[in-house]
Amino acid sequence: MERKNVWKTYGEEELAELEQVNRDYREFLDKGKTERECVKGSIAIAKAAGYADLNDVIVQKKTLSAGDKVYLSYMDKSLVLFHIGTRPIEEGLNILGAHIDSPRLDIKQNPLYEDTELAYLDTHYYGGIKKYQWVTIPLAIHGVVAKTDGSLVNIVIGEDENDPVVFISDLLIHLAQTQLEKKGAKVVEGEDLNIIVGNIPLKNEEKGAVKKNILKLIKEKYDIEEEDFLSAELEVVPAGRAREAGMDKSMILAYGQDDRVCAYTSLAAMVSMEQVERTACTLLVDKEEIGSVGATGMKSKFFENTLAELLDRMGVYSELTLRRVLANSKMLSSDVSAAYDPTYSSVFEKKNAAYFSKGIVINKFTGSRGKSSSNDANAEYLGEIRRIFETHNVAYQTAELGKVDQGGGGTIAYIMALYGMNVIDSGVAVLNMHAPHEAVSKADVYEAKKAYVAFISE
Q: Which is nearer to Mn ion, 111 or 297 (CB)?
A: 297
**Near Mn ion in 248-287, by CB under 5 A:** 258-259
Q: Which is nearer to Mn ion, 143 or 409 (CB)?
A: 409
Q: Which is nearer to Mn ion, 114 or 335 (CB)?
A: 335
Q: Which is nearer to Mn ion, 43 or 435 (CB)?
A: 435
**Near Mn ion in 142-181, by CB under 5 A:** none
CB of 455 to Mn ion, least distance (A): 18
Q: Which is nearer to Mn ion, 112 or 433 (CB)?
A: 433
Nearest C-alpha neighbor of 54 from the set 314, 382, 394, 384: 314
Q: Which is nearer to Mn ion, 111 or 256 (CB)?
A: 256
DSSP 388-456: HHHHTT--EEE--SSSTTS-EE--SHHHHGGGT-EEEEEE-EEESTTSSSEEEEHHHHHHHHHHHHHHH
For 96, half-sphere exposure in the C-beta direction (CA atoms, 13 angstrom radius) is 34
Q: Which is nearer to Mn ion, 82 or 414 (CB)?
A: 414
CB of 229 to Mn ion, least distance (A): 27
For 399, half-sphere exposure in the C-beta direction (CA atoms, 13 angstrom radius) is 29
CB of 429 to Mn ion, least distance (A): 12
425 near Mn ion (CB under 5 A)? no
Q: Is the CB of residue 179 less than 8 Å from the CB of residue 266?
A: no
Q: Is the CB of residue 296 less than 8 Å from the CB of residue 302?
A: yes
CB of 237 to Mn ion, least distance (A): 14
CB of 404 to Mn ion, least distance (A): 20
Q: Which is nearer to Mn ion, 246 or 291 (CB)?
A: 291
Q: Is the CB of residue 68 less than 8 Å from the CB of residue 275?
A: no
Binding mask 314-353 for Mn ion (x = CB under 5 A): ---------------------x------------------
Count interface residues toward Mn ion (CB under 5 A): 3
Name the E strands within 217-302. Answer: 232-238, 243-245, 251-254, 279-285
CB of 39 to Mn ion, least distance (A): 17
Q: Is the CB of residue 411 less than 8 Å from the CB of residue 366?
A: yes
Name the E strands within 319-399. Answer: 330-333, 337-338, 360-363, 367-368, 396-398
CB of 286 to Mn ion, least distance (A): 12
CB of 398 to Mn ion, least distance (A): 18
Q: Which is nearer to Mn ion, 259 or 286 (CB)?
A: 259
Q: Which is nearer to Mn ion, 143 or 256 (CB)?
A: 256
From first CA to last CA, the distance across the chain in angstroms is 26
Q: Is the CB of residue 376 less than 8 Å from the CB of residue 364?
A: yes
CB of 130 to Mn ion, least distance (A): 13
Q: Which is nearer to Mn ion, 44 or 293 (CB)?
A: 293
Contacts of range 267-270, beta carbons closer than 8 Å, 24 or more positions apart? 267/42, 267/45, 267/46, 267/81, 268/21, 268/24, 268/25, 268/45, 268/449, 268/452, 269/96, 269/449, 269/452, 269/453, 269/455, 269/456, 270/81, 270/83, 270/96, 270/452, 270/456
CB of 105 to Mn ion, least distance (A): 15
Q: Is the CB of residue 83 less than 8 Å from the CB of residue 282?
A: no
Name the DSSP letter for residue 33. S
Q: Which is nearer to Mn ion, 325 or 448 (CB)?
A: 448
Assess whether the previous peptide bond of 149 is cis (omega < 30° from 0).
no
CB of 330 to Mn ion, least distance (A): 20
Helix (H, G, I), strand (E, B) or coil at 214: helix
CB of 333 to Mn ion, least distance (A): 9
Reported residue count of the chain is 458
Nearest C-alpha neighbor of 104 from the set 154, 74, 147, 143: 143
CB-closest chain residue to Mn ion = 259
Q: How large is the greatest C-alpha to C-alpha distance in the chain, in angstroms? A: 74
The residues of the shown chain that bind Mn ion, judged by CB under 5 A, are 258-259, 335
